Chain A
Amino acid sequence: MTPARFAYVRPETLDAALAVLAREGEGAMPLAGGQSLVPMMAMRVARPALLLDLNRLPGLEAIAVVEGALRIGAMARHASVLAHPAVAAEAPLLAMALREVAHPAIRNRGTLGGSLSLADPAAELPACMLALDATMVLASAAGERRIRAAEFFIGLYATARRPDELLLRVEIPRAAGWTAWFEEVARRRGDYAMAGLAVMARRAGGLIAEARLSFCGVEPAPRRLPEIEAALVAGADAAALLPRLAEPLGSAETPAPYRLHLAQVLLRRATESLHAAA
């Protein structure tokens, strides 16, 4: 469990980092908190030719409300996001989800941008981005690019980030009148979720008027499920629709039918909870 040979660079400016990516393309792998990448390298599952360490880049860890949106820099550590008052006020869903992310030591190093860019199917934060309708802001030597979360996560460990791009920050629209709901099921506290569900629901006149949701840990990639969202808004049995719509992953400890069952359990809990509160 030692990494294969790699080159290492730790630029001091964003421009320098983007220049490295422009030059190296897929051979370079950005290193943020390293909580997934470093073990993957130790197991030689990840074999970057060049490790591009982002930890000296200035300003990428900022968390602030700017122009009506909550901006969270890609290098913000999970622990900082979890503790930030602006997150509690504007995107409590993130705080709810982050409490389930691993353990304090990992949250002290792990970053929002790292988790979103890796797109582990079990990760909580990608699902939250979908439910929050966040926008991902990417940069390359050619300039900035904005992508809605729904277009960003495209598959198992796959995102719309191009090899020459870095994720700079996410922008989460303010959500007055929206309620957050998050829950996940894991064998042990802090484990990857066997199934998790992030929901944002908007209330109007004592009813749920709108909902955005995504599972994590269930399918190869998080995604919005419009039929399920509609059923949840209507207070219908959304869980009953799930077997037709979801393609659950299976593994040695968590067979696919069990994941589907857990996803249904979460959906029923969310529906009940959100309608009761509405």
Chain B
Amino acid sequence: MPDTATGRAMPQTAIGRAMPREATRRLVAGGGRYLDDHTERGELHAAFLRSPLPHARFTLDVGAAAALPGVHAVLTAADLAAMCRPWRTVSKAFPGLVSPEQGPLAAGRATWQGEPVAMVLAASRAIAEDGAEAIVAQWDELPAVTSLDAALAPGAPPVHPGLESNRAWGGTIQHGQPDAAFAEAALVVEERLSFTRHTGVPLEPRGAVATWEPGTGALTLRLSHQMPHQMRLHLAEQLGLPINRVRVICADVGGGFGIKMHVYQDEFAVAAASRLLGRPVRWVSDRMEALMADIHAREHIVTARMAVDAAGNILGFDVQDLQGLGAVSIYPRSSTLEAMSMLRAVGTPYRFAHGRARIDCALQNKVPTGQYRAVGAPIGCAMTEHLIEKAARARGEDPWDFRARNLLRLDEMPCANPFGAALHGLHHHAALEKARALMDLPALRAGIAAGREAGRLLGLGLAVVVEFTAAGPVAYGAAHVNVAATDTVVATLEPTGEISAQASITEIGQGITQGLAQVLADAVGVAAEAVRVEAGDTAAAPHGGGAWASRGAAIGGEAIWGAGRRLRAQLLEAAGALLQAAPETLDIRGGEILDQAGTARMTLAELGRLMLFRGHEMPKGVTPGLSAAFHYRREGDATLANNGVHAALVELDRDTGLVRVLRYWMVGDCGRVLNPLLVDGQYRGGVATGIGEALLEACRYDAESGQFLSGTLADYLLPMATDIPDIALGHVETPYAGSALGAKGAGESGTCGAPAAILNAVNDALEAAGGGAVTELPIHPVAVLRALGRLA
């Protein structure tokens, strides 16, 4: 392995080892300290009155609520306006984006059901909820649009006053000669797929505890969030505070999935209320609030065509995407990113020369959408893989062969495809062959044939995946959106010989601090058990991006490797001066400093104590450094693409239309694996998310009233343990050549491929049964029955 500090190869002991997470024992024993476990003296409990209508003007009479015993204050938009500036989503990546200002509470007009309009602060949450009920609201219902078709129809009621249309942003991308390609094609396959909204459902809901200290003019906000430094900046900006008077603490976080990376009205209302009232304020979202007011995602109608020549080579894609944004484009990243991410996943594994895409993003009277695990990739992948199957079927060709011919070979990369996706180091054919072997394809196919003979509706679906992980600085930087894509680690030698580190990457339950500790152990030369990595508190952790875009290993790993190598170099320099040896002749292994002969000369504990407590014994001129910081910035590649192959075996119930996933296989290539337990966990969890997306999860709205219908976990159907089959995993390891460790992202690739694999599997079963195709996700049993001709 190359070494960013010395260029010398290092013996590895911890990187790549399947070590259980250090935090596991504590967390499974109930020792986690989540947001709700932290209390502040004198805190007030907040509850929000949220709009019951998708679009309404309103007036509020808060007198009765404020008079309730135990209610401390009832705040409306006007009360918080002085404390918190409004924000508006602007991005150079989306010029002309229409997205109005948002403040912490809606002012006079609510634009989605669930939007906070007033905030009650009371002695308990129950009293605060009593207060919210006691607010006398006059709702003047306005016309609302919720479906994509309704939002973009000519003459549709505007989501915001004065809009000529609800189209918030749109664009066209063209490369090559798509018209000529489609005109010359021997085969054109086409489909319209629709995708219903989902939301992420972390076990721990969002929440905030704000503490304003009038004496110091400082705000501390505990948040269940993926990116503390990002929120610190936004809080400083919106509340008009010096940033070094704002501290954000994310302690144990019970899952994020992209839900906890946006600026939410309610969380900023909590911060503003604390400053206004001079009291700590606590708010923890309940599950009903979470389902209606956390960002949703993935509302698309995609129409796409694929052109294929007579030899079965893909010529090009022509894609139209309608995307639902909700009432605003989410701050700061913009909801429109999902459409771009969808597009970047169209055709990505394959060789094609011509492409055209048209994207239209619609405002709606619904909760805003945002970046949710795998963002738009599952949609682009499902669209592509559906067309691939269709083309192979039309040609009468084995879909594995069709893919193998069209997949980009490793030696064709690096390259950029017509939709601008930068591809490098993707070993598709190795993954395909590994999957074929993992599945024992001939035996599997024989089993399917026998099952079908016996009348079973079995289907096998395949999907090839490329996912763009670990975004580098250019993505948001060029858009002038203040999102950090660089990360920092400060590593410190303790006087006991242990190594402590503060990382700007954050731990949200994915276990990344364990992987980082293993890297740091190898970087310095100590046992992994001697290393502790902490994250999440802006008062302790250095600047950086946090947890998003599967960046922990690829970016956080590089930062901690760099910090560890710097610290090691500093320690060797000090040891060299003490031992009268050139630093480059010394080595650190197992916490000991070895000379050229491999003889232990001193321990790191001895060195640490010398440097810290007996500085007078240190040689003259040696500037000891117990700590080293490294700020990692990847140059060049804008993202690190990973790849994989997914396959699902499903069975349909011809009477009920229910789909059961019997078996699932995934081969992934996320470059260097820091800890296989962590990667396997991410793959399997990602697949479970994708199975939910394919078969169960839907945010549904009443077509006429616009009312949200999926407001509880009895209505929003998450996959349960019994819905997830055993997931067989295989690994191909193609390290990224541009970094020291070579890791790419792993956290979302399971989600990218599962909807496509299951959609293809269901359609394979339907095809074998002589039925039609399903074209809507999640795949509802009614759609299956209709495709089978068994329900009108």
Binding site for B on A (CB under 8 A): 1-5, 43-44, 185, 187-192, 251-253, 255, 257-258, 261-262, 265, 269
Contact = CB atoms under 8 A, between A and B. Distances in A.
Contact of B791 (A4, A44, A188, A257): A257
Contacts of A185: 656, 658
B443 interface: no
B696 A1 contact: no
**4 A-B pairs closest in CB distance:** A252-B709, A1-B286, A2-B126, A252-B700
B717 A43 contact: no
Interface string B531-553: 00000000000000000000000
A188 B126 contact: no
B609 interface: no
B265 interface: no
Nearest to B125: A2
A258 B696 contact: no
Nearest to B791: A261
Interface in B736-792: 780-782, 785, 790-792
Given A2-B125, A253-B717, A258 B782 contact: yes
B3 interface: no
Contact of A190 (B655, B720, B782, B785): B720
B288 A187 contact: no
Contacts of B710: 252
11 contacts: A1-B287, A5-B130, A43-B712, A185-B656, A185-B658, A188-B722, A252-B702, A252-B710, A253-B700, A253-B717, A258-B657
Given A252-B715, A253-B700, A255-B782, A187 B655 contact: no
B61 to A, nearest CB: 20
B129 interface: yes
B715 A258 contact: no
B722 A189 contact: yes
A188 B130 contact: no
Given A2-B129, A257-B792, A189 B715 contact: no
B72 to A, nearest CB: 17
A43 B656 contact: no
B130 A4 contact: yes
B287 A258 contact: no
A187 B696 contact: yes
B183 interface: no
Contact of A43 (B288, B698, B722, B785): B288
A82 B173 CA distance: 62
Contacts of B130: 4-5
A238 B684 CA distance: 45
Contact of A261 (B126, B717, B785): B785
A190 to B, nearest CB: 7
Contacts of B719: 188
B126 A3 contact: yes
B125 A188 contact: no
B116 to A, nearest CB: 16
Give the interface SS of chain A, mostly helix, strand, loop or mixed. Answer: loop
B597 interface: no
Contacts of A189: 720, 722-723
B714 interface: yes
Contacts of B658: 185, 187
Interface string B711-732: 0101101011011000000000
B717 to A, nearest CB: 6
Contacts of B696: 187-188
Contact of A258 (B129, B709, B714, B791): B791
Contacts of A190: 720, 722
Contacts of A269: 655
B723 A188 contact: yes
Interface in B631-664: 655-658
Contacts of B722: 188-190
Nearest to B781: A258
Given A188-B723, A189-B720, A269-B655, 4 more contacts: A1-B287, A2-B126, A5-B130, A187-B781
Contacts of B715: 252-253
Contacts of A1: 286-288
B709 A188 contact: no
Contacts of A44: 129, 133
A265 B655 contact: yes
A161 B509 CA distance: 49
A251 B780 CA distance: 13
Nearest to B710: A252
Contacts of A261: 785, 790-791
B717 A188 contact: yes
A234 to B, nearest CB: 22
Most chain-A CB neighbours within 10 Å: which of B656, B657, B791?
A: B656
A1 B655 CA distance: 38
A214 to B, nearest CB: 20
A192 B714 contact: yes
A259 to B, nearest CB: 10
Interface in B576-620: none
A49 to B, nearest CB: 14
A229 B159 CA distance: 54
Nearest to B714: A192
B350 to A, nearest CB: 35
B687 to A, nearest CB: 17
A44 B700 CA distance: 22
Nearest to A269: B655
Contacts of A5: 126, 130
A185 B709 CA distance: 21
B198 to A, nearest CB: 14
A262 B656 CA distance: 6
Given A3-B126, A192-B714, A265 B720 contact: no
Contacts of A262: 656
Contacts of B780: 253
A255 B288 CA distance: 23
Q: Which of B287, B700, B720, B790 has the most CB of A within 10 A?
A: B720
Nearest to A195: B656
Nearest to B785: A261
B656 A265 contact: yes
Contacts of B126: 2-3, 5
Most buried by A among B288, B658, B696, B698: B658
